[in-house]
Amino acid sequence: MGILRKLFRAQPQPTADGAFSPSPLAIKLGTSSTTDYDGGAYAKTYTGKKNRVLMVCTEQRNMTMANGKKFSTGNHPVEMGLPMLHLMNAGFEIDVVTPTGAPVAIEEWAMPADDADIQKLYNDFADAFQNPGSLADFAGISMTDDTLYAAVFIPGGHGAMLGLPDNADLGKVLHWAHNTGLHTLALCHGPAALLAAKNDAGFLYEGYKITVFPDAVDKQTPMIGYLPGPMPWWVCEKLNGLGVETINKKADSSTHVDRRLVTGASPQAANTFGRLAAETLLKRADANS
């Protein structure tokens, strides 16, 4: 009976829409009811005009795995929330968009229920997440040289692999951000969306070094029921094939800055990544003042 209970705790759990969320064991091992948020205090905050950050989120929830089963995913609440808190506390404002303006998909099973800062953030942004802007509209009318934006932020969660890596509008936005001197911020599986920056001229981030969630860890997670099957494709493998060097081997707290690209490795990096992103934008503002 004990063995059966252990086996059940390692089985992905079915959702109402026919997908699977992580097993009780995976939830216990891979999530927490609180975070390591450090409070987001900054001695100096940004007060200039370029104070906006465009946060590009997925609107798709279910990932079809290699075995045909569907994984209930979206944007990871900690990987989205902690960087948002840091950026806002540093004086920046967040504009939320999805590819078509459909609601943001969020991995509710990873929500830290006992973290007051995250709970307040998601309450404050409830309407923005339910009614985000359209990335297609942004790409059509808002990519100007005199932009008020400081950065583009792509939060993590396996959902970043859905609808973003092959999105032509995101590709345009990433090239625009690069050409106008904005920073690009991507955490955990968020760098998967950078694949949208590939065009006939090549890949925008060829030769860059990044931290990202390792393929090796994604290959292990079905064993504890985190994923209901093997991944449909591998993020690091795709990026490496386009000339990107992934510098972390573990799903740890590592972060990295290469030119104007800021990356982080996993949920464990969310707080450190958020602070690094905010401080990087503040330093750029000081340099340009």
Helix (H, G, I), strand (E, B) or coil at 209: strand
Phi, then psi, of 55 in degrees rounded to 5: -100, 115
Q: What angle is formed at CA 157 by the lines to CA 155 and CA 163, rounded to 5 degrees? A: 80
Which member of 185, 188, 269, 270 is catalytic? 188
Distance CA 103, CA 274 (A): 23
* Beta-sheet strand order (sheet of 20-21): 13-14, 20-21, 70-72, 62-64
Give counts: helices (H), strands (E), the chain. Answer: 10, 15
Helix, strand, coil percentages (3-state) for the chain, rounded to 5, are 40, 20, 40
CA-based nearest residue to 30, from 269, 267, 285, 274: 267
| Known catalytic membership, residue 188 | yes
Catalytic positions, written as ranges:
188
